[in-house]
Structure 1
């Protein structure tokens, strides 16, 4: 487990044990970090992660609160964090992505219009300098959807969209917990777009393979670390 995962687990345990209830305010950051034996930085990252999935509510100038969800719904939200830690099905979807999407990307280099390829660059530009993880993942899904459509094969496009959507949670969690994941994703998307713009089908295929394999490798390691 990463340090951030340890911090998330510690906060989660406080909620499960009833020490923190929906609507409760978390102790001050330095006090909670000392109590849990965590650095303030790792605790801060854990709070940020849990706020993204609506387990915690960070109120500027007021403090951080457990959301007012019913306990059963709160535990469902926590399931978001651990679903792919406990089930390697997501790996099968990523393996399928690694086989299907590079082929669709290579086809798109031949069939996608220049305007649509330029639109991919505009899509990436729209994220700005420091996108949130949620913004990145939404942009990521749209980026890959457009390329699949650009392959000109409707069956292949439908397969890519179906398989890609099933890995959304894992991609979100990677963006939250893996250092530099956001910038790496943006860099690889740029490389794919530039290869498409240059009509370099095999280069685009290679970058798509590297891009998807990176997520797959991270999740494999995550599963190993949590066995």
Structure 2
């Protein structure tokens, strides 16, 4: 383990042990470095790394503070991972979605207030009969976020939101103009909302699985076509 990694681990342990709590200010750099047996340069590198993943907040002229440590804040860094991965790796994120979102949807069928389920229906109605791709993507993101939030588990919601990043969705929906894609998406959303309204967790789980698996299958087929097309043109 590098010196910087050791410094990161030491600060993390202070937070885990409750010695540093959300909102607390870290001791002076010189004092903390001496206490941890580290050079000030190593400590600075550790603080910089932890600030990038939103564990610490460096305030110029004020000091360094532990953030709120809210799951949504900590998981925000995963959005960068999603954005910078290739399409074939995005398939792995889709596989994670296929595991997490059906579970979140099933929980939402048990926990989501009826008023919020009704609002999901209104959200779908707001699209009209012929939405643009941009409108559908925005609506889709909001639809899935509300369901994840309705599961009543903040950590789960943060994971779902992170994996369902906006850039990832934009890539997945490149083929939205294919025949009946819009209609199919809307129909699946309606089925999910209906299962939530009827408090049928397993039906909701099944529809969510079908919905995400359909996107995953589309992307797999698209990647295969992209791989085979250059070879075909070269023949």
Q: Shorter-chain TM-score category?
A: 0.5 to 0.7
What are the Cα deviations for residues 35-60 of structure 1, in whole angstroms up to 9, with x where unaligned? Answer: xxxxxxxxxxxxxxxxxxxxxxxxxx
Where does structure 1 differ by over 3 angstroms across 4 or more consecutive aligned residues? none
Does 2:210 correspond to 1:172?
no
Separation in structure 2 between the aligned mates of residue 141 and residue 87 of structure 1, nearest angstrom:
19
Partner of 2:127: helix, strand, or coil? coil
Separation in structure 2 between the aligned mates of residue 100 and residue 94 of structure 1, nearest angstrom:
10
**1:118 maps to which residue?**
118
Separation in structure 2 between the aligned mates of residue 116 and residue 124 of structure 1, nearest angstrom:
13
Equivalent residues in 2 for 1:1-227, closer than 5 Å: 87-165=87-165, 166-176=167-177, 178-227=178-227
Separation in structure 1 between the aligned mates of residue 175 and residue 153 of structure 2, nearest angstrom:
30
Separation in structure 1 between the aligned mates of residue 161 and residue 202 of structure 2, nearest angstrom:
21
For structure 1, list consecutive stretches of 5 or more residues without a partner in the other structure: 1-82
Contact residue 133 and residue 175 of structure 1 kept, 8 A: yes
Cα offset, 1:99, TM superposition: 0.4
For structure 2, list consecutive stretches of 5 or more residues without a partner in the other structure: 1-83, 228-235
Contact residue 94 and residue 212 of structure 1 kept, 8 A: yes
Partner of 1:98: helix, strand, or coil? helix
TM-score by length of 2: 0.59
Contact residue 133 and residue 176 of structure 2 kept, 8 A: yes
Separation in structure 1 between the aligned mates of residue 212 and residue 87 of structure 2, nearest angstrom:
19
Separation in structure 1 between the aligned mates of residue 172 and residue 183 of structure 2, nearest angstrom:
13
Separation in structure 2 between the aligned mates of residue 185 and residue 226 of structure 1, nearest angstrom:
24
Contact residue 123 and residue 143 of structure 1 kept, 8 A: yes
Partner of 2:176: helix, strand, or coil? helix
RMSD over equivalenced CA pairs, Å: 1.5
Cα offset, 1:173, TM superposition: 0.5
The one of the two structures with greater contact order (alpha-carbon pairs below 8 A, sep at least 6) is 1
Separation in structure 1 between the aligned mates of residue 129 and residue 106 of structure 2, nearest angstrom:
28
Partner of 1:179: helix, strand, or coil? coil
User: Larger Cα Rg: Structure 1 or Structure 2?
Assistant: 2
Contact residue 172 and residue 219 of structure 2 kept, 8 A: no
Partner of 2:164: helix, strand, or coil? helix
Number of aligned positions between the proteins: 143
Separation in structure 1 between the aligned mates of residue 130 and residue 147 of structure 2, nearest angstrom:
24
What are the Cα deviations for residues 53-100 of structure 1, in whole angstroms up to 9, with x where unaligned? Answer: xxxxxxxxxxxxxxxxxxxxxxxxxxxxxx99x630110111110000
